[in-house]
Amino acid sequence: MTAGRDYDVLVLGGGLVGAAIAHGLTRRKLRVAVLDEGDLAFRASRGNFGLVWVQGKGRGMPAYADWARLSADLWPEFSAELEAITGQPVYYRKPGGLALCLSESEMEERATLIRGMHNQQGPKGYDCQMLDRKAVREMLPQAGPAVVGASYCPHDGHTSPLHLLRALHTAITQAGNDYLPEHRIEQLEGLAGGGFRVVAAGKTFAAPKVVLAAGLGNPGLGRQLGLNLPIRPQRGQILVTERLPAMFHYPINGVRQTAEGSIMLGSSQEEVGFNNSTSVDVLSRIASRAVRAFPVLAGANLVRTWGALRVLAPDEFPIYLEAPDYPGAFIATCHSGVSLAGAHALRYASYVAEGRLPAELAPLHVRRFDVQTAARTEPRAHRISGR
C-alpha cells in the first residue's frame, strides 16, 4: 500500500525531539508526516523530569553549552506560540533553577564545575553562581539542615513534558499534517535519484527529505543509511507524590513541583541496558535524598513511580548531522528533548528546511567519535547536575 499524500519531509519518531522538529517544519508551511512507533516505544518523552536546563550542560563542549543556552532563550517564544496555536497549556515557567549540594564535597564538586564553565565560555559569559546555605534558605525556606549550598542559574526553568508532547502533536495535525502512531519503521531507503522511501505499518511513504529522530531507534535506522550512531540507553527512575500545597517556586535538581501540585523526585543514572523497570533500592535512595533536602516531604504520600531510558551518545552530548552519502537525511539524537525543544522547533527545523546545518553544530557531528578511545564510551559522572 502506498501513502496517498505527497510530503516534503518525513520525520521518523514522534517523541519530543521529532515532534518539536516537525512542528518547526509545519511553521514553515512544509508538508510533514511524523511516523511514530507509539506508546510501546522506549520513550523518554513520557518519563522526563521536565527541566528546561542550562547550568552544567556542555562542560568540555562549548558548542553544546551555546546550543542549550540558545534553546532556553527561545523557550518563552516557543511555548507562548505553541499555546496560542493549540489552546493547550504547557505550563512553562522560567524562575531560574537550583542544583542543591548536601555535603561540603558536593559543594566543592559543583563549584569546580561552575568555575570550569565560566572559564570555558569566556567572554560569552556564563550566568550561573554558587549560593551558600543562607542564600538558599532565603529562596527555599523548606530546605533542611543537610543543604549546605547550591548553584543557581536564571536561565533554567521547567514545563510539563506530557502537556508539551500533546501540544506539539496537536499543532502538527491542526496545520493539516500527519501524526501517525503505530507506524514502526520497517524499512528506510535512500533512492538513486534522490529522496527517500520509508515503509511503516505496511504502507510506503516517500519524500525528498527525512529526519531521523527516533531516539534509541536511531542506530537501527542509521545503519540503513550507512551510519554508525553510537547510542546507548541509560535508565532514570522517578517518584511522584500526592498533590500538595504550593511550596517550591523554583525547579530543583531532583525535586520539582508540577502545576497540578504533585512533586516529582528523581532521578538516577543506571547502566542497565534496555530495562525500564523500577527497583526499590534506587527509589529508596531518591526518596531519602529528597527528604534530607526537604524534611517537609517526609510525610508526603507517594502515588506513582516509573523508569525511563535516556538516549545517550558516549560523551552524552547530542548528535546532529546530515548523512554524507544521502543528502537530505538529517539526524537529531539527544537526551535533552525538553530543554532543546525550543532550539529544535525554531532553529533545527529551519536548517532542515534550508538543507544545511550551520557550522556552529559541526562539533556535534558523529565524526567526533572517530578519534576517541574506547574508554570514552564509559558514562561520565555527574551526580548532582541538572539533566
Q: What residue spans define the domains of the chain?
A: 9-86+161-230+315-377, 97-154, 232-312
pTM above 0.75, yes or no: yes
pLDDT in tens, the chain (387 residues): 456 579 999 999 999 999 999 999 999 999 999 999 876 666 666 678 999 999 999 999 999 999 999 999 999 999 999 999 999 999 999 999 999 999 999 999 999 999 999 999 988 888 999 999 999 999 999 999 999 999 999 999 999 999 999 999 999 999 999 999 999 999 999 998 899 999 999 999 999 999 999 999 999 999 999 999 999 999 999 999 999 999 999 999 999 999 999 999 998 999 999 999 999 999 999 999 999 999 999 999 999 999 999 999 999 999 999 999 999 999 999 999 999 999 999 999 999 999 999 999 999 999 999 864 333 333 333 333 333
Dihedrals φ, ψ of 146, to 5°?
-75, -20
CATH number for domain 9-86+161-230+315-377, candidates 3.40.50.2000, 3.50.50.60, 2.30.30.790, 3.30.300.130 = 3.50.50.60
* Amino acid, single-letter form, for residue 147: V
Pick the closest to residue 172 from 380, 338, 20 (CA basis): 20
d(CA 376, CA 373): 6
**Bridge partners of 206?**
197
Superfamily in which the 232-312 domain is placed by CATH: D-Amino Acid Oxidase, subunit A, domain 2 (3.30.9.10)
Q: How far apart are CA 39 and CA 43, in angstroms?
A: 8
SS3 164: helix
- Tell me the C-alpha distance between 89 and 257, whole Å: 16
Assigned C-alpha cell, 260:
497540578
Main-chain dihedrals φ then ψ at residue 210, nearest 5 degrees: -140, 145
